[in-house]
Structure 1
């Protein structure tokens, strides 16, 4: 059998990944206890083999090219898989380590996940975290993410989905807005008000508001002067400024409600929620850092629910 990867090539790939993660030849050289020239030669060796540029180099900066980013994502996943395979065979129970890349929606990141990350890294100091705040769906294979948090479980059978929580929805406005325009006493009364619109990133359509009237669940389109796309926090900021009425997650506006900056409307029609799920690729060997983060996040959110 002809070998496709000799020891030198595998070492070059490791040095390339380290350079991409640390941002310089010098830092990668220090981490690997070699010279910066050796790292530079390793990267050049890969570029010659692939016939592509992996980095854009200037006198002060070093950035991955688009091809470099794609190659890094695949190489990092392959190297991590080798480490996990070795751990499985030898039975070594080492601590979670390596780079963990997470994609999450903007509001859930700001209000739920990011405040928990310092505790996670205190527990697992060898895990480096790169987080991506966006409401769009990501491609795990092409973009190199380990985990994603989304508003619904995917139909894709290659993905594992764990429900993190059903986040309660609440309708809010400022006391100033209500003083000028009155307080609606039913969902139907919202037709006479300026309801801030939020468009779903997946299809660009304004999202309907959800209510419960006794046993009946209501999905109600609303209308207003303002439309917000991509980032729901923009619509919340507008509501805080008195721009209109908005339905959002209670965890975003909880402090505003307690402080009286916002007022909860239509509580008798409340109680609806939307789910948030933690999604990651299905595989026999899930990286230890991924398993650790999944267990940690579920544990912390359940602890928060218990108070």
Structure 2
């Protein structure tokens, strides 16, 4: 809010990012987006802090500590209420794969098969309108 809603990638220089890292020294400190040619690009950005779980990531954005990039399905209620604001719809991050992990068995239990199918249908519907970046 202090720096206005960015209208271009160049505007991000006035903002801070909440960095998300899965391990020590493994985070890439920048705004991730799809370039004009469809390849993954990273705009280095200063950050307020680095977190390693989605609850802390979202809490940091809600506290106004910086811009986050997470799946829209995870922030839809906060976007709807106006607590968070979607930014730069043209410069979205590349999609991430989703995996269902289960114990290896020769014969996969029918209930596990049904659960995976149900989850795939649910996610396909939810992610069909996915657009990515959110800011406090």
User: TM-score under structure 2 normalisation?
Assistant: 0.74
Q: Which residue of 2 aligns with 1:220?
A: 43
Q: Does 1:294 align with 2:101?
A: no
Shift of 1:271: 6.0
* Equivalent position SS for 1:233: helix
Q: What CA distance in whole angstroms lies between the structure 2 residues aligned with 1:200 and 1:245?
A: 18
Q: What CA distance in whole angstroms lies between the structure 2 residues aligned with 1:211 and 1:271?
A: 4
Q: What CA distance in whole angstroms lies between the structure 2 residues aligned with 1:303 and 1:270?
A: 19
Given the alignment, which residue of 22, 31, 34 partners 1:200?
22
Larger CA Rg, structure 1 vs 2:
1
Q: What CA distance in whole angstroms lies between the structure 1 residues aligned with 2:38 and 2:114?
A: 40
> Higher helix share goes to which structure?
1
1:16-165 superposed matches below 5 A: none
Shift of 1:300: 3.2
Q: What CA distance in whole angstroms lies between the structure 2 residues aligned with 1:197 and 1:242?
A: 13
Answer yes or no: is the 8 Å Cα contact 2:17–2:31 preserved in 1: no
Shift of 1:280: 2.8
Q: Does 1:241 align with 2:63?
A: yes
Answer yes or no: is the 8 Å Cα contact 1:195–1:245 preserved in 2: yes
Q: Which residue of 1 aligns with 2:74?
A: 252
> Quick one: structure 1 residues 257 and 248, their matched pair in 2 at CA, closer, same or farther if it must change by over 3 Å?
same
Shift of 1:304: 4.5
> Higher strand share goes to which structure?
1
Q: What CA distance in whole angstroms lies between the structure 2 residues aligned with 1:293 and 1:277?
A: 13
Q: Which runs of 5+ in 1 are unaligned?
A: 1-176
Q: Does 1:266 align with 2:126?
A: no
> Quick one: structure 1 residues 219 and 281, their matched pair in 2 at CA, closer, same or farther if it must change by over 3 Å?
farther
Shift of 1:272: 2.8
* Equivalent position SS for 1:225: strand
**Corresponding pairs, count:** 127
Answer yes or no: is the 8 Å Cα contact 1:197–1:224 preserved in 2: yes
Task: Give every structure 1 segment of 4 or more consecutive aligned residues whose post-TM-superposition deviation is greater than 4 Å.
Answer: 303-307
User: TM-score under structure 1 normalisation?
Assistant: 0.36
